[in-house]
Every structure is written in C-alpha cells, then in structure tokens.
Chain A
C-alpha cells in the first residue's frame, strides 16, 4: 500500500443557494488503497461531500484534490473514478450488458474492445449469465450488482459509493458487503463508502469518518484495526461490538443525547 493521498478534502464547505448550510468546513485525507466510510444520520452532508469529491456538486469554499490534481483534471493521469448511486439507476430499456457498457460507449470505446471488459465486469459481480436480461427481470440485489459492474467496467482506481445497499434486505446486504470487500482487495481500489448503518461501516472499513447533522460536520475518525479478509464471524465478535458501541456513543453525543450507560 503506497502512502499517496488519493483524495484530499481541504476546508471544503457547502452552502446551498437557499442558505442551508449543508456542510461546515471539512478536512479529510484518504490514502490510496483505503476503504473509508462516511457514517452519519440523514442530513449530515455525507452524500453532499461524496458528490463534491465526484465533481457532481461544486463546493462553496475550499479545495478538492484527487491524486493532487483538481477533480476535472484527472483525465489522462491514469486514474479514474466511478460512482455508484443509492439506486441502481439502470436504463430500464437496455439489457444488462448494454447498461454495463454505457460508460465505455459514452467514452467512445470501440465495441470489440468493450465486449470482453463488460463480460469481465459482469463475471466479477457474478452476473455473467444475466447479460441478456432486462433490469426489471432481476431482483433488487442483482440490479445493484449490475450497477457495481457498470462502476467497475471503466477499471477505476477510486470507487465512490453513496449508500449503495441501503434499499436491500439485510441478508442480501451482508452478501454484497463481503463481495465488495473481496473486489476491493483484488483490484486494490480506493473506496469511499457512504452509509447510515454503524454495522456496515465497522464491517467494511479501514477507517470510519463519523459525521453529524444540523449543521453537517465531521466529528470523529475511527480506524478499524482488524485484519482482512473479514468473515461472518467478525460480525458477532467482541471487537466488532466494541467498535459499534464506540460509534454509536459518538453519534449519540453529537446529536445531543446522553450515551447509554455513560456518566454525564
């Protein structure tokens, strides 16, 4: 793991035109190869922060660097970012393979070159047999896998995920969580993952960044110092509970409530 910062967020803040202060100035540095989770309640600005990293939103103030360059100048640097939305956001009229091929088509990659890459990306998420299906013929979890395959097909070095498994049932979510970790390790990706689930954050991350709402701000960073691969056993271990408890208290303190069992 090299010690190059993949993402640098320097005093970035966001105020919407209607005056809502979505995010107070934030500083965050993500090293190459890290799996960082932004954890917080609704309205804490975690999605806003992620969208600013992706260049989907303009920060009102501050600077954002990806591999030490502004977001709109990373083309040609050999680095690429992919964004996976909360919803699968697939084109309902296009078959799975065409959906996965979309970013390549938009970039003008010739069909002969894109076909094997689409196949490879679908194989990575275990859906190579569904290439000819329409999105509506797949379950929610499978649609999300297609969306992830679409994110991987451009061979990104940075993967930004905005509550990608939020709408899925817990069993499917656990499965996708461990598949994602497997991909992260295989492809040596850098991942920034947004979630409001404490347990998902602990299970996945090398580091959890805790955020609070009203106003949106960063309150704590917690390294999860557990070795990978993390199996299902980790989810029920004492260490896991300790991390979860710590994050839970931290979130409760930020929202003004007394942490359970802690002296005031």
Chain B
C-alpha cells in the first residue's frame, strides 16, 4: 500500500473506483462466460462501443436533455428564491401559499405532464415547465428555512443598532440562509434532471422528443438494448456531475466559514 492511500481524499476516490472496476469486470466475465444474448444484457465493452458508434445520436440527445435540465434548474432557483423571500416577508403570505407549494411537490409529475404538454405549444417549454415543477420545492423550503434561521443573538444585536429591514436582510438574513440555499441547490439539481427525463418520457410516448429519455424509449421498441444502456449511462453520469458541480459551488461560496464545509481546516 502506497502512502498516498493513507490519505482520506484519495481513499474517497480509490475505494469507489475499485468497486466499479470489480463490478464491471464481473459483469463482463458473466456475460461472456454464460453467453448472455446482447438483447438481454449487453457487455460493458459493447455499451462502450455503442457509445462511440452512436455518439452523434446519443450526445445530441444528451445536449437536449441537458438544455432542459439546466433551464429548469435555473428557473426553479430564481422562482424558488423569489417565493422564499415573499414567504419571509409575511407570515400571512406563507400561511396562505405554503400548502400549494406542498401540493405541487406531492403531485406526481407524470400525472400532470400530459396536461402541460397539451397546453403548452412549444415542446421545449413544456418540458422545462415540468422539470421546474419537480425541482422547485427544495429551493423554496430550504431558502425559507435559511432566511428564518438567524442567530437570535445577532438578530437582537441588529435590532439594538437600529438596523433597517434592508440592512438586516442583506447583512444578516441572506448570509445566514446561504448554507441552506446551497443544500437546496444540491437536491434540486438532481430533481431537475429527473424531471426533465420523466417529462421527456411522457412527451416521447406521444411521439415528440429528441432527448435521452426518448432514445431509451426508442431503443426499447427496437430491442436495441446496448444503446439503451449507453443512454442510461449518460443520464447517470450527468446526474453525478451536476451533484458534484453543486457541491463544488457550495464549497466555493461558503469557503471555510461554515461548519458543513470546514471539515478539512
């Protein structure tokens, strides 16, 4: 064992990677040894080949899905933050509207997606709306909680110094809310992708669509299982990268001041 491996940050990459290599090796061996037909389970090698051969098709689809995801994520963030600000301004607004935010959250998106796709003419816009609805709630909930989670001592201190509402918001509430907000972003980034894929499925069954979910549907109809696996792989990798990007953003923004990010210093 090299001394590098004694360090936790390398362990965190090395051990999961080791598991991946083992599992993929086992999978490859199993498929070859038992001569599993490729329309049931393709070998990892074949999936990789498909990824290269169908690159134009698959990465084009990935671009479409990614576009919808990012759009929806941005919409959800902006909307969610606005709603959260409205909520903390007055208890009446929050009490009146919070149940509807929950309503949106608990209604399965597959159930309302067909309606939205019928109502909204542009396919991209309808997909973005669906994905936004899925990703919205964690941003609202976390940001609201954050804007309210102000250290009461500091709140008294601001009051004692006759700080204005705006000063209190800008210098106290917003910085206090940031860790919660970034927590919301992390959850929402994944949900935006899920929302985009689910909406594409619904749209795809209706015959429209070009995203990764549509590719998965089509591959299913054509029993092109290797391509299905390749599309699936792309979705998963995208989700992981989005999550990592949000974790990085959070680390960058909060730096070393917040407990949740300061475990290495």
Contacts and interface: CB of A to CB of B under 8 A. Distances in A.
Contact of A91 (B162, B167, B175): B175
B163 A93 contact: no
B167 A56 contact: no
21 contacts: A55-B160, A56-B160, A83-B156, A83-B160, A85-B156, A87-B153, A89-B154, A89-B156, A92-B257, A93-B175, A93-B178, A93-B254, A102-B161, A102-B171, A103-B161, A106-B161, A106-B167, A106-B171, A134-B256, A134-B257, A136-B257
Contacts of A136: 256-257, 259, 262
Contacts of B162: 106
Contacts of A264: none
A136 B259 CA distance: 9
- Chain A CB within 10 A, most for which of B156, B159, B258, B259: B156
B154 A91 contact: yes
B158 interface: yes
Contacts of A262: none
Contacts of A134: 256-257
B32 interface: no
B156 A107 contact: no
B157 interface: yes
A92 B156 contact: no
Given A91-B154, A102-B171, 14 more contacts: A54-B160, A83-B156, A83-B157, A89-B153, A89-B154, A89-B156, A91-B171, A93-B178, A105-B171, A106-B162, A106-B163, A106-B167, A134-B256, A136-B256
- Chain A CB within 10 A, most for which of B151, B153, B258, B262: B153
Nearest to B256: A134
A107 B161 contact: yes
Contacts of B258: 92-93
B85 to A, nearest CB: 19
Interface of B: 151, 153-154, 156-163, 167, 171-172, 175, 178, 254, 256-259, 262
Q: Please name the 10 residue pairs, one residue from A and one from B, whose CB atoms are nearest each other, closest first.
A: A89-B153, A93-B257, A106-B161, A93-B175, A106-B163, A85-B153, A89-B154, A92-B257, A103-B161, A87-B153
Interface in A75-100: 83, 85-87, 89, 91-94
Interface of A: 54-56, 83, 85-87, 89, 91-94, 102-103, 105-107, 134, 136
A105 B163 CA distance: 10
Interface of B is mostly: helix
Contacts of A87: 153
A92 B258 CA distance: 7
Contacts of A107: 161
Contacts of A91: 154, 171-172, 175
A56 B159 contact: yes
B103 to A, nearest CB: 35
Contacts of B256: 134, 136
A87 B153 CA distance: 8
Nearest to A105: B171
Contacts of B172: 91
A60 to B, nearest CB: 19
Nearest to B158: A106
A87 B254 CA distance: 23
A65 B163 CA distance: 22
- Chain A CB within 10 A, most for which of B157, B171, B259: B157
A142 to B, nearest CB: 16
Nearest to B156: A56
A79 B88 CA distance: 35
B250 to A, nearest CB: 13
Nearest to A82: B160
- Chain A CB within 10 A, most for which of B154, B167, B178: B154
A162 to B, nearest CB: 10
A107 B258 CA distance: 27
Nearest to A103: B161
Contacts of B254: 93
A105 B153 CA distance: 18
A107 to B, nearest CB: 7
